[in-house]
């Protein structure tokens, strides 16, 4: 193309012809871009993204806890154990990352030889562990349109598939062991606390029973002292019974209405000794000859307190819960599961897609090649 373009307008036909005439250059540039992309893929070896499901226990395994859950309904301090509770414990343990960090080190998911010291290596391991992503279930019942995910997913960048699956197996085993131990320790702690509380209640009842008995003895001694004093006064005045007082009253009063006189005499607030020493001394005798059983009957609130003590002593609910807990073999079994990591069914995706990369770099190479030949042509025109 010999003629110069003296205006600011661009001749599209000339551009197209120029591109066509330099198609081999553009193809070569594009090929170089694609080759660099492919070389980077194989040299760099980009990590995979591993996606692994976490499954809760089955309905059959969940049924093992049904009798225990039924029995603890009367004791709200114990946690109900079911697949939802166990899955939550599993996820919480996984989120702490402690076991993941241990697995990364154990299975050398991070190459320690690339670091100068232990601190740098530990920091790299922790940073790598923090890249773990837990993806929650969505649209489980399928009630809305769109993506459905039934279970939790572990998403993690993986260089070596075999090592990662071994690490997942280790993580599952260790978390389940920790949860099994936690359930056992938590149950024993709660049980011991409740037994201690019951013991405190029993001690309080014993003290209250002792106090009401002491109160009875104190009141009884005061009563006896009062009665003995009144009996002495009655004997001094030779009043055997209050009938004598009534007869003497009738003798000195005008008999107008016998029933009202007797009633007034009996109901008047006269000193106690006027009842007569026969009655007072009989009352003293009855009080002094009371057996322990008789005393209990006359002791205020004692019967109710003894009933509370009896109910507490005869309550076997904690012992039955403990016996049932110990009878559930899964708590002491090596096959205990709080949840399952389906590591053998891990889905892997490349974080660097070769086909997409080739297409992208190919398009980029074409664009760069066109820009290059047009720029080169423009430079040649200005010479």
> Collapsing DSSP states into helix, strand and coil, what is residue 57?
coil
The C-alpha atoms of residue 338 and residue 329 are separated, in whole angstroms, by: 14
> Collapsing DSSP states into helix, strand and coil, what is residue 58?
coil
Read off the tokens for 140.
Answer: 């489980």
Q: Is residue 127 part of a domain?
A: no
Q: Would you say 312 and 197 are in contact if contact means Cβ atoms under 8 Å apart?
A: no
The C-alpha atoms of residue 275 and residue 245 are separated, in whole angstroms, by: 8
Q: Would you say 361 and 36 are in contact if contact means Cβ atoms under 8 Å apart?
A: yes
CA nearest to 170, candidates 103, 262, 87 = 103
User: pLDDT tens string for the chain (383 positions)?
Assistant: 444 444 445 567 777 777 777 777 778 888 887 777 767 666 666 678 899 999 999 999 899 888 888 888 877 788 899 999 999 999 999 999 999 999 999 999 999 888 889 999 999 999 999 999 999 998 877 677 777 888 999 999 998 899 999 999 999 999 999 999 999 899 999 999 999 999 999 999 999 999 999 999 999 999 999 999 999 999 999 998 876 555 554 444 443 343 444 444 444 467 899 999 999 999 999 988 988 877 888 888 899 999 999 999 999 989 988 888 888 766 667 788 999 999 999 998 875 566 776 787 778 878 877 777 777 777 777 76
Q: Is residue 169 part of a domain?
A: no
Q: Is residue 356 part of a domain?
A: no
End-to-end CA distance of the chain: 13
The C-alpha atoms of residue 1 and residue 379 are separated, in whole angstroms, by: 12
Read off the tokens for 39.
Answer: 């070389």
Q: How confident is the model at residue 9, as a pLDDT?
A: 52
> Collapsing DSSP states into helix, strand and coil, what is residue 138?
strand
Q: Is residue 280 part of a domain?
A: yes
Q: How confident is the model at residue 297, as a pLDDT?
A: 83
CA nearest to 340, candidates 89, 129, 87 = 87
Give me the residues paired with residue 308 across strands: none
Please, what's the b/e burial string for 336-362 (b: 16 or more CB within 10 A of its CB; e: otherwise)? bbbbbbebeebeeeeeeeeeebbeebe
Q: Is residue 382 part of a domain?
A: no
Read off the tokens for 286.
Answer: 């009855």
Q: Is residue 48 part of a domain?
A: no
The C-alpha atoms of residue 228 and residue 234 are separated, in whole angstroms, by: 10
- Domain range for 243 is 197-327
- From residue 20, give the alpha-carbon distance in Å to each of 247, 374, 377: 150, 11, 13
What is the pTM for the complete model shown? 0.69
Read off the tokens for 176.
Answer: 């389940």
The C-alpha atoms of residue 170 and residue 150 are separated, in whole angstroms, by: 24
Q: Would you say 41 and 354 are in contact if contact means Cβ atoms under 8 Å apart?
A: yes
Q: How confident is the model at residue 224, as a pLDDT?
A: 93
- From residue 110, give the alpha-carbon distance in Å to each of 107, 157, 164, 334: 8, 11, 11, 30
CB atoms closer than 10 angstroms to residue 199: 11
Q: How confident is the model at residue 305, as a pLDDT?
A: 93
The C-alpha atoms of residue 106 and residue 168 are separated, in whole angstroms, by: 12
Q: How confident is the model at residue 256, as a pLDDT?
A: 38
Q: How confident is the model at residue 22, as a pLDDT?
A: 76
For the chain, what is the domain count?
Answer: 1
Helices (H) and strands (E) in the chain, counts: 15, 5
């Amino acid at each position: 193309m010999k003629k110069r373009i003296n205006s600011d307008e661009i001749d599209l036909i000339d551009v197209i012809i120029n591109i066509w005439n330099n198609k081999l250059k553009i193809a070569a540039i594009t090929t170089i871009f694609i080759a660099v992309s492919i070389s980077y893929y194989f040299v760099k070896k980009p990590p995979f993204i591993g996606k692994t499901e976490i499954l809760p226990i089955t309905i059959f395994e969940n049924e093992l806890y049904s009798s225990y859950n039924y029995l603890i309904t009367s004791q709200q301090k114990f946690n109900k154990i079911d697949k939802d509770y166990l899955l939550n414990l599993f996820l919480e343990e996984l989120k702490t990352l402690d076991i993941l960090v241990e697995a990364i080190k154990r299975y050398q998911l991070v190459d320690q030889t690339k670091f100068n010291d232990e601190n740098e290596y530990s920091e790299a391991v922790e940073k790598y562990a923090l890249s773990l992503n837990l993806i929650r279930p969505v649209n489980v019942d399928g009630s809305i349109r769109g993506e459905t995910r039934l279970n939790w997913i572990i998403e993690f960048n993986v260089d070596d598939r075999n090592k990662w699956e071994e690490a997942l197996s280790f993580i599952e085993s260790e978390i389940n062991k920790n949860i099994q131990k936690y359930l056992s320790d938590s149950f024993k702690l709660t049980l011991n606390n409740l037994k201690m509380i019951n013991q405190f209640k029993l001690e309080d009842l014993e003290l209250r029973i002792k106090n009401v008995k002491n109160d009875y003895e104190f009141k009884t001694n005061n009563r006896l002292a009062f009665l003995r004093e009144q009996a002495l006064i009655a004997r001094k005045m030779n009043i055997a019974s209050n009938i004598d007082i009534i007869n003497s009253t009738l003798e000195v009063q005008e008999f107008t209405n016998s029933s009202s006189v007797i009633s007034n005499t009996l109901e008047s607030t006269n000193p106690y000794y006027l009842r007569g020493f026969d009655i007072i001394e009989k009352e003293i005798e009855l009080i002094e000859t009371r057996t322990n059983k008789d005393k209990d009957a006359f002791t205020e609130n004692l019967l109710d307190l003894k009933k509370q003590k009896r109910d507490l002593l005869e309550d076997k609910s904690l012992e039955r819960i403990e016996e049932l807990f110990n009878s559930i073999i899964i708590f002491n079994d090596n096959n205990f599961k709080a949840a399952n990591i389906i590591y053998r069914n891990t889905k892997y995706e490349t974080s660097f897609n070769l086909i997409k990369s080739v297409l992208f770099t190919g398009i980029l190479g074409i664009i760069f090649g066109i820009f290059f030949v047009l720029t080169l042509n423009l430079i040649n025109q200005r010479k």
